[in-house]
A and B are shown apart, each in its own frame.
Chain A
Amino acid sequence: MASDAMEVHAYESEHLATSTGLPNIKLAMWLFLASDCMLFGALISTYVLYRGASVVGPYPNDVFDIPYTSVSSFVLLASSLTMVLALAALQRGDIGRARVWLLATALLGMTFVGGQVYEFTTFAHEELTLTTNLFSTSFYVLTGFHGTHVAIGILMLLTLLTFSFSGRLGPEKAETVEMVGLYWHFVDIVWIVIFTVVYLIPTGNPG
């Protein structure tokens, strides 16, 4: 990508010097994301191990609706864009636009979670519940954990929005928004893996 397309943002530092020279909060966030990688690594491994091991249906191919889940994936990708646009606006000092992009991110996140709730409900009506078979248990635990992460992200976004209305969100808080953004993008990259491994890669099960 052309480097001339980049803008240079200057920040007034409000941090005390740290032993690493890097902000501790950002190091802590990256460490947390690294540990969350391990959590999702374990859940995805479990799903891959068990998804083809069910002895009773419904099987993945019986219930998955790829076009519907594809739309959900586009929604979550779009929310990552609105998140970085919110951060860029705040760094420019454009609080109004940052507020709009934060709201858009939260709404897109809610759309995703709403879609997931609808999907789970539909599966339940098709007799696929948490305890139906090995596929359903590993599927609901994996995607449920991801959905919970998205829901927590929405709460953080709504908190930032509330701060913006009470005058507590300015360019000096760009780092806070960046931390929420890192979390949000992490949720997005986890979904990139889930969408491929869980939904698009076919299983050997009948269905």
Chain B
Amino acid sequence: MSEAERAGELAPQARTHAAPGSGSGHVARHPSPKEYVRIAIILAIITAAEVAIYYIEAVEGLLIPLLFLFAVVKFTLVVLWFMHLKFDSRTYARFFMMGLAGAITLFLVVLLTFRVFAG
């Protein structure tokens, strides 16, 4: 098996390049500082929106779904761009998804067991 095959499947954006310091001597793509700043501005805007809707009574019925949506978008942006999962080997993403899936399962099992959703 070649080293590239052993390195695992790479994300499409980095298919021809290995992750930094991967031991393969390949090249990795990372966002430019300008791109990082753009992501940070988006994160700041979403955070401001989260706080704003907390105070807007008109969206009270949609508050929890909207807050969850905003949190998921922020979480995803940080993981994909700042933690480079969008660009690195998918093996890292699989490891992380394993832990995340475990945490979400634990959360749901606990809350379902104690009937938190039933009110």
What is A's interface to B at a CB cutoff of 8 Å? 1, 3, 5-23, 26-27, 30-31, 33-38, 40-42, 44-46, 48-49, 66-67, 70, 73-74, 77-78, 80-81, 83-85, 88-89, 91, 174-175, 178, 181-182, 185-186, 188-189, 192-193, 195-197, 200-202
Q: A85-B36, A196-B67, A202-B63 are in contact. Are A66 and B47 (CB under 8 A)?
A: no
What is B's interface to A at a CB cutoff of 8 Å? 3-8, 13, 17-25, 27-40, 43-44, 47, 50-51, 54, 63-64, 67-68, 70-71, 74-75, 78-79, 81-84, 89, 91-92, 95-96, 98-100, 102-104, 106-107, 110-111, 114, 116
Question: Complex: how many Å from CA A27 to CA B6?
Answer: 14
* Choice from B20, B25, B82, B100 contacting A175 with Cβ under 8 Å: B20
- Main SS of the interface on chain A? helix
Question: Complex: how many Å from CA A22 to CA B67?
Answer: 37
Instruction: Find out whether the CB atom of B8 lies under 8 angstroms from the CB atom of A21.
Output: yes
Instruction: Find out whether the CB atom of B30 lies under 8 angstroms from the CB atom of A7.
Output: yes
Question: Complex: how many Å from CA A201 to CA B31?
Answer: 33
* Choice from A10, A23, A45, A80 contacting B23 with Cβ under 8 Å: A23
Beyond the given pairs A15-B21, A35-B99, A89-B33, 7 more chain A to chain B contacts, judged by CB atoms under 8 angstroms and listed by A's residue number, are: A9-B20, A14-B21, A38-B102, A77-B43, A88-B30, A189-B75, A201-B63
Q: A22-B22, A30-B96 are in contact. Are A81 and B40 (CB under 8 A)?
A: yes
- Main SS of the interface on chain B? helix
Nearest A residue to B35, CB-CB: A5
Instruction: Find out whether the CB atom of A70 lies under 8 angstroms from the CB atom of B47.
Output: yes
Instruction: Find out whether the CB atom of A41 lies under 8 angstroms from the CB atom of B103.
Output: yes
A46 CB to nearest chain B CB (Å): 8
CB contacts (< 8 Å) of A88 on chain B: these are 30, 32-33, 36
B8 CB to nearest chain A CB (Å): 7
Question: Complex: how many Å from CA A12 to CA B83?
Answer: 21
Q: A83-B82, A182-B83 are in contact. Are A11 and B96 (CB under 8 A)?
A: no
Nearest B residue to A186, CB-CB: B83
Instruction: Find out whether the CB atom of A49 lies under 8 angstroms from the CB atom of B114.
Output: yes
Nearest B residue to A77, CB-CB: B43
Question: Complex: how many Å from CA A179 to CA B75?
Answer: 18
Subset of 20 A-B contacts with CB under 8 Å:
A5-B31, A9-B29, A10-B27, A11-B20, A12-B25, A21-B5, A21-B22, A21-B23, A33-B96, A34-B96, A37-B99, A37-B100, A37-B103, A42-B103, A67-B51, A84-B31, A181-B83, A193-B75, A195-B71, A196-B71
